[in-house]
Every structure is written in C-alpha cells, then in structure tokens.
Amino acid sequence: MYRLIFPDWITESKDYYGRAEQLEQIKNALSYNAPCVILGERRTGKTSTLHVITNYLKETKNPRYIPLIVEQMQDETFKKLTLRQFARIILGKLTDSLGKSLRDTGYLDENDRLRVETPEQFEEAFSNIIKVVEGAASKFYVLAIDEFDAIIELAPESDLIQELITHLLMKNSTLPIVVFLTMTRLPEALRHSIASPVLSGVKIIHLRPLVDEELRTMVDDIFVGLSLFQTSHLEWLLKMSGGYPYYIKLLLDNFLQLYGLGKTLPTVTAQMLQAALEKAVTDLGALTTLVNIYEMHFAEEERRLVLLLAYLKETALPVGILKEINTSCITAANQMVSRGYLMKTSEYYDFRIRFWGDWLRGWANFEEECENLNLDLHLKYINRPSIEIDERENKVRVKGSLLEATHTEYKLLLVLAQNLGHLVRRNTLVDKVWSTEHLAPNVLDTTIGRLRSKLEERGLEGKKYIELVRGEGYILHDAYIIGDKRE
C-alpha cells in the first residue's frame, strides 16, 4: 500500500521527487557532453542523482556512454587520498567497465602500485587503456565523483587531484570523459577555475528543497494515492523538513513504524505526527547523519547559531541582537540561510528545517555542546530587557528589532528608562521631553498611547510595560539603555 524508499539511494527517476527539472538539465548537458557540478547540502539527494543518471544510461542502453562512479568515501579515507590512489580508483572503474583487469594493463608495478604520479601520466594511461579494447575509444565515459569538495578539503594531494579534474573539465581535453561532480559547496579555487573562459561550458545544477505541490505529489506517490494526510498535515511536514526529502521520509518512516497501514486506514491526527517526530528525534540513523553534518559541515559559529535557536525553542533570533553580538554571527547566519538550514525575514532568523531544533534539544550532547561553545556569552544578549534605548544611535529596539519611534517618543522612553522601575511624575516628563511648562493636558497621554500601541504591535503588553500611576505619572519596566551617557 506504500513504497517508501528510505534511507537507501534512489535509482529510479519515478522515486526521485521534485527533481524532474534538474534531471532534465543533466540529461540535456549529457547530450552535449557538457560537464556538470551538482550542488546541494548533505542528504539533499546528490548521491541519488548520480545513481538515477547511471540507471538512466543503463536503461536507455545507449552504447555511447559508460558510467564510472566514484562513490562517497569515509572522511578518514579522504585524509589519506593521494593522486596515485585517486587515479587507481578511476582506472579500476574503467577496466572493470571494459571487462578487463587493471593488472593486465601494465600500469601496476611489482609492489601492486599504480605507475601514475601526475595528471599527465593519468591522461596517458586512460588513453592507452581504451585504445587496446576494440570500440572503447569511440565511447564517452561519464566520470561521476561524489562529494568532490570533501576530497579537495581533506586529501593531502588535493592540489594535484584538483589539477587533474580541472584539466578533464576543460574544453580542449583530449580524453572522451564527461565529468560529473557532486559537492556541498564549490571550493574557492575550483570556483575561480570554473568561472574561467576555458571552463565556461560547465553546468552548475542546484538541488533545491521541495515546494508544497511537490511535497503533495511525493506523499501521494509514496502512499499510492491514499488520502491519509490533510493540508494541515502536509504544511506541518513542510515546516519540519524545510522541504528536503530526507527529513520528510524520516518522519514518514517513523510514522509508519508507529501506526503502519493495515486493512483499516488510520485517521491521521496532529498527536500522531508529534509522536512520529518524537520517535524520529531518537532514530539511530538520523543520529549518525545529523551528528556528521553538525560536526563536519557546520563551522563553529554556525554550530553556535543552531544551538541558540534550539535553546530558544519557538523563539526566533532577532537580526538586531545578532548584529550586536558580532559581525561573524551575521555572516554565519546568512551563510546558513544560503545553505537552506535557516530562513530570514527582515527582523528574524529561524530554522528552515525545524526538525533540527527538536533533534538538537533531544541530543545527548546538547548541554555539553552549549557549554563547550560558551553559549552563555550569546544568551546574555538574548535574555535581556525587551525594550532597548540606544543612546549611541538615538534608536529604540523591541526584542532586538528596530521600533519606528519619533524623536519625542524616543526622548520620552529615554527619560522613563533613566528612572527604570520608578515613578516619573507628569510635570518632570513634560519638562524634560518638551522643555516647557505649558503643554496641552492630553499631549503626554496621547504620546504614551502611541508608544503603547507600537509595543503591542511587537507583542508586548503596552500598559504593563508603561504603567500608569493615575494622577501622578508613569513607570517604565523591562528596559535597558545602551551607551548610557550618564555613565
């Protein structure tokens, strides 16, 4: 009654949801022998993309293309990878595809070491191997390398490996190789290479999250047309997953483990989805995946940001507060937005993939990580008064976001804040804010009313924060002066 493929690689196009446009772009690039770079975060489907394309080539039985896939390796393997070892992997894939053994080529010495130490020697070896097999030289070889940026980052001979791949990407390369690379991010050095005129034919393809219509199609296909989930349930899935298929499938997989699909279809409720979320948070497969992403693919400031958001639960991070902490916070936050983990409004940063917040809070190392990264230093900016009067810039912020206050409103709040928690009499406010003893009776109250309304718009109870003492004056609560000129 359902066909949920998780967490295995996808090989069939029909199971590769929301990626039809990207697959067509890749097929189109293949038809012109154009190299491709496939960009996407961890668990966005880069490896599945390679397998879908490989399966496509096999299904079409197109004798023109032979796929050579270099699978994702463990980080420890990357750290030891030399050009000789990298070349051996590729040439081994080549000889296997031709029904030969690498040992029969004469390119292994008496110690079983490949006689290739430079990019030029690799090109010569590849060329000679395809010449000795009838018809092999007339083929095109789709060299697909998974997580290539990890190789560039970790391999001790990354410069030589990058030199080799850059040469294969060039228009004037003599080898019949079409290069496909998957990466999380373009390394800076390769970014400059790909931007050069010599490499201008490289096709960059981004794996984006699903939109709501694609999510609906995905769920309908998985459950073979069963109408289990209402619109509100799908909206919840989209919010928790950020639109990324891995997290959607993780939640659905745990839902099925809890409730299954027997002869009687369950009536899905919000409580059932919450139970699936709580189970997914403790999923051992998710633990391995997310710890790897957190430790290996988040910089220190990025880790601090996701911990902060997880700590705050349903509260977003105000842009103004991050700016005050330091510029590296804003840089990291914007980077996480571009990578799809966070989203941004004009005033706040928040999780795009809300599952991350629930998972982090349930992670056994959460409190230890908060302590190791000195989260308290950031929390002191967040756990502070709701209203901030900045004397350096003559501005008012509420919950870290700028409040549109007139000059008079600013002065009124400043005088009240200078006497925080204490009664400021009406005549004192009139004298210090308007510098006159003759003011229409309702002007002060009207100005206070406007300020209260603006606080209400920001989620604060205006009358609670600016308290009226009838017949005497006002008291301001929960405020703070930045750059107090009296100090």
The tally of domains found in the chain comes to 4
Q: Are residues 45 and 182 in the same domain?
A: yes
Token pair recorded at residue 1: 């009654």
Q: Are 272 and 258 in contact (CB under 8 A)?
A: yes
478/404 same-domain check: yes
pTM, two decimals, is: 0.75
Q: Which residues pair with 179 in a beta bridge?
A: 143
What is the DSSP secondary-structure string of 199-219?
GTTPEEEE-PPP-HHHHHHHH
Are 179 and 74 in a shared domain? yes
Q: Do residue 186 and residue 264 come from a single domain?
A: no
Tokens standing for 372?
Answer: 């190791």
Tokens of 150: 């990890």
Tokens representing 182 are 């998957």
Residue 3, in any domain of the structure: no
Please provide the size of the chain in residues. 487
Specify the residue for token string 């005497």: 472
Residues of the chain falling short of pLDDT 50: none
Count how many Cα atoms sit within 13 Å of the Cα of residue 147 in the half-sphere of its side chain: 21
Task: Provide the pLDDT for residue 465.
Answer: 93
Distance, CA of 133 to CA of 122 (rounded, Å): 18
Asked if 303 and 361 sit in the same domain, the reply is: yes
- The verdict on 330 and 421 lying in the same domain is no
Domain assignment present for residue 13? The answer is no
Residue 4 lies in a domain: no
Q: Which domain holds residue 330?
A: 298-382
What is the pLDDT at residue 227?
82
Inside any domain, residue 73: yes
* 487 in any annotated domain: no
**CB 54 within 8 Å of CB 9:** no
pLDDT computed for residue 195 by the predictor: 67
Residue 105 falls inside a structural domain: yes
Whether residue 99 is found in the same domain as residue 188: yes
Of 206, 231, 260, the residue that ends a domain is 206
